[in-house]
Chains A and B, each alone.
Chain A
Amino acid sequence: SQQGEEDPQALSIQEGENATMNCSYKTSINNLQWYRQNSGRGLVHLILIRSNEREKHSGRLRVTLDTSKKSSSLLITASRAADTASYFCATDAVQGAQKLVFGQGTRLTINP
């Protein structure tokens, strides 16, 4: 079963705008990761945020984590055409085997 659920399922914005994607999960986690998947290719790790962290930045990416609401958001600022991809959150649950459980993903399209 999939732990994370991304919202929205699809997002289309103009180049230069900011894109925000949300992820909700069900059980307590050790950490949450975001991955990007370009069409027809494998996934690429973007950023990891631990359960005791509330916000993290990496370049144009900003991730927040609210463990009380069991949710995370990924913000991409000043979007570019190359950001067009699917974005997945993946959680490492506290209980159970150490493995990542991926959400359904958000399909992001950046229009030039």
Chain B
Amino acid sequence: EAGVAQSPRYKIIEKRQSVAFWCNPISGHATLYWYQQILGQGPKLLIQFQNNGVVDDSQLPKDRFSAERLKGVDSTLKIQPAKLEDSAVYLCASSDSGGGEETQYFGPGTRLLVL
């Protein structure tokens, strides 16, 4: 089966600009996650969707980050305006139904550099 797809793979922007990332999860997976991984650290959950509803967005900086999952399939994550500290890899993952014992399947990530 096809894996989690993400685009773009790389993005370079200047601070205060906006950027959007796209994720297509594994077909049939109800749960979709966005993580931020800063260099040298583990992934940090930004937002978790169950179908098209938000389950957890407690660590999403809502003043500048937004995410949506229309129709419960694809998702986009937007940053507006970007700050230097947003430089990181943004990982999308999906799982079957979102239970704590489930395996999460990760995409290759989008590497963002904010100058």
Q: Main SS of the interface on chain A?
A: strand
In the complex, per-residue mask of B84-108: 1 if CB is within 8 Å of any chain A CB, else 0:
0000000101000011110111111
Among A31, A45, A101, max chain B CB count under 10 A is at: A45
If A48-B103, A50-B101, A92-B101 touch, whether A102 touches B43 (CB-CB below 8 Å) is: yes
CB < 8 Å A-B pair total? 60
Among B43, B56, B108, max chain A CB count under 10 A is at: B43
Q: Main SS of the interface on chain B?
A: loop
B103 adjacent to A103 (CB under 8 Å) = no
A48 adjacent to B101 (CB under 8 Å) = yes
Whole-angstrom CA separation of A90 from B42 in the bound complex: 9
A98 lies within 8 A of chain B by Cβ: yes
The 8 closest A-B pairs by CB, nearest first: A42-B106, A102-B42, A92-B100, A98-B100, A45-B103, A43-B106, A97-B56, A102-B43
Which residues does A use to contact B, with CB under 8 Å? 2, 4, 30-31, 33, 40-45, 48, 50, 88, 90, 92, 97-105
